Amino acid sequence: MSTEAFVEVEDRDAVRIITLDRAEKLNALNTALTQQLLDAIESVGRDASIRAAVIRGAGRGFCSGADLAEFKDLTPDQQDRVMARADLTCRLQAAAQGQGKPFVAAIHGATVGGGAGLALGCDMVVAARGLKFGYPETKHSIVPALVMTGLQRALGRKAAFEMISLGRLIDADEAMALGLVNRVVDGDPLPAALAIAQTWAAIEPRAMAATKSLFYRVGELHFEAAMLAGRDVNAMMRSFREVK
């Protein structure tokens, strides 16, 4: 097992910047990086001094997806290892959304496969021009099984199927037009992402946590149930809202 550090963490006041730092491999997600990144994301949820987070990638791209060189050792006769690795990937893909703090991805260059899924798992995305975003797995005879759910929910069935079945990479402007990213910038996307995170950090944390939790819940509920969930959160927040 690797003991090398593949994730850098920096705190700027109440904002944590998490950097994938395996630049020589385009931040490909081997087991070590996946576990370290999952730990870093979950630590944001536990740290009361942190109110928002940015995820970014070092080097020429955000993340090139799974490290295929590592996967060649996961043969069908090693089902325990195969399932453990798949479970780790699933946990990472869901991690940012599962925290009570908001996350923004600052993406550039290669952002594909699991890297694209990681970005869409954040609450907002800032993309740099020159972005290459997509799901090319089928071109390598791989099923994008663990990133399909997030893409379909973010994009809708027809457009999502086109993206995963054709394996075409899109640029930042097309990703913006499809609603997959919130901002497109020239150069480094970090300053724009940091500005978003700093705005979040200024919001009362209980209100932000309740807003994020309810936002994702209502998307899974029927209309009437979603309205009732909103009613309950509204009543809860009024019970302890600070008077300004």
Looking at the annotation, which residues are catalytic?
137
| Percentages (nearest 5) of helix, strand, coil residues in the chain | 50, 15, 35
In angstroms, the CA 59 to CA 55 distance is 14
Query: What is the number of helices (H) and of strands (E) in the chain?
Result: 10, 8
User: How many CB atoms sit inside 10 A of residue 6's CB?
Assistant: 22
User: How many CB atoms sit inside 10 A of residue 170's CB?
Assistant: 17
User: How many CB atoms sit inside 10 A of residue 186's CB?
Assistant: 9
Task: Report residue 238 as tokens.
Answer: 């009024």
Helix (H, G, I), strand (E, B) or coil at 66: strand
In angstroms, the CA 18 to CA 118 distance is 13
